[in-house]
Chains A and B, each alone.
Chain A
Amino acid sequence: MERDDLIVNDSYALNSHHSEEQGEKIRKNIWKVTGILTFLTTVEVLMGIYFKRSETFTWAMIKWSFIILTMVKAAYIVLVFMHLGDERSNLKKVIIAPYMLFIGYLIFIAISEGFGHLGNFNTLH
């Protein structure tokens, strides 16, 4: 089979080329995202150091903020650094859909099977 990436002047690869002016705008965006990622990581670390786990209510909230901040970071990396945001929407869907299924499955399994250790396990049988 012919390797399409070896084609000189391949249309898919060439079409992602851009000019010097566009490049300047893209680089500015990259540095902006770098700042955001660094800021979010710093916030996470400070929260991890500052908040204590014994305060149960606060800790549950902290835990969810960690997960939300992680999702925000992941979205920036995938959409900007990996350029998925610039791809066709059918490619985006093909890549994102398996994780929607995976997350749905995890939530289902955690709710339906995840309470075995909470003490009433033996009385179920």
Chain B
Amino acid sequence: MGGEATKAISKEVLWGGGRSPFSVSYGKMMMWYFLVSDALTFGGLLTAYGFVRASSTDSWPIGEQVFRSLPGLDGEYPLIYVALMTFILIVSSVTMVLAVEAGHRNDKSGVTRWLALTIIGGFFFLGSQAWEWSHFIHGSGGSFLLEESVTVTSDDGEVFNLTKGEPVFMDHHFGHLAEPWMEGQTNVSLVESTNGIKLIEVGEHSHEAELHALTLNKYVENESLVSGDEAMKLWNARSSTFAFGANMHDNEYAIQQAYANFFFFITGFHGFHVFSGVVINIIIFIMVIQGVFERRKHYEMVEKVGLYWHFIDLVWVFVFTFFYLV
């Protein structure tokens, strides 16, 4: 491997003009320079995230408690989905490096096959991210803030002295009806039930949801379930500030909006890189099929877009650590 780069060339010849002192072509070097600057942009974003998080006085949401759902399943699977996304990106990086390797042997069918698999991997990642965004935006039940101080005992027997402004989290079923009820839709009404209260939606698909339990500290340390009469105490101390899912102004995950905004900006900026990477890969894929590089007798263009594609994987490794794990 390396070829030209590992060739012994005297310093005078190397810097004396007439050849690249780095022993790489202009295009490949410029791709590296672009990646250096692009990585500094991501570095700036992750640094800003770190500083805002460190200076936050409220508890910051924990990755494995916010991201613990899988499509179509009900239970809790902390980080599994994000791990799956990471794996998809690693695999598509591997297929890309195999395409580059095939290019070094002028193996057109090998490049075609591996590049096609890389593009498919890219689409899988984009699809996964679309689901993750959708899940983050829709939320899992919503939350409300307390209007007054209240003391409750959790199911584990721990006593919580809560003050005004602290968040309380609803479950998925109750929150689903609480949202239209809070918006004042007339087909949803709140009624007393044998165990407390329930929300009833009438219409084409009538259904109801009982207030079984509420959760404290759902996305931070010491997550606790409060049910029965204790949950009613929390419900009666509620303010009119409800949040369902997340957008640019409001979110159910953290008292501080910065968390949701950083999620949208960092993963969104990365996702846009993946999208543009897939588009570039498709363009190069078409050129491979047309035989452009076969006529040129080298597949360096595949190597250059490969650099960009690996860079996207590299950034995700850092986003995975600093946004989801730490």
Instruction: Please list the residues of chain A having a beta carbon within 8 angstroms of any beta carbon in chain B.
Output: 3-6, 8-20, 22-23, 26-27, 30-31, 34, 37-38, 41-42, 44-45, 48-49, 52-54, 63, 66-67, 69-70, 73-74, 77-78, 80-83, 86-88, 90-91, 94-95, 98-99, 102, 106, 114, 116-117
Contacts and interface: CB of A to CB of B under 8 A. Distances in A.
B64 A74 contact: no
Contacts of A15: 3-5, 7
B98 A30 contact: yes
Contacts of B90: 34, 37-38, 41
Contact of A17 (B57, B298, B311): B298
27 contacts: A4-B25, A5-B25, A5-B301, A9-B297, A10-B298, A13-B300, A14-B298, A16-B5, A19-B105, A20-B105, A23-B101, A23-B105, A26-B101, A30-B101, A44-B325, A48-B325, A52-B221, A77-B310, A81-B94, A82-B314, A83-B1, A83-B2, A88-B23, A95-B32, A99-B43, A102-B43, A114-B54
A26 B107 CA distance: 15
A17 B302 CA distance: 13
Nearest to B7: A15
B196 interface: no
Interface of B: 1-7, 20-29, 32, 36, 39-40, 43, 47, 51, 54-55, 57, 62-64, 78-80, 83, 86-87, 90-91, 93-94, 96-98, 100-102, 104-106, 221-222, 295-298, 300-301, 303-304, 306-307, 310-311, 313-314, 317-318, 320-321, 324-326
Nearest to A37: B90
A87 B24 contact: yes
Contact of A5 (B51, B300, B314): B300
- Sorted from nearest, which 6 A-B pairs have the closest CB atoms? A15-B4, A86-B2, A15-B3, A13-B298, A13-B300, A16-B3
Contacts of A78: 310, 314
Contacts of A52: 221
Q: Secondary structure of the A side of the interface?
A: helix
B208 to A, nearest CB: 35
B54 to A, nearest CB: 7
A19 B65 CA distance: 50
Given A48-B78, A98-B36, 17 more contacts: A5-B28, A8-B297, A23-B101, A23-B105, A30-B97, A45-B79, A70-B321, A77-B313, A81-B97, A83-B303, A88-B22, A90-B21, A91-B32, A99-B39, A102-B43, A114-B51, A114-B54
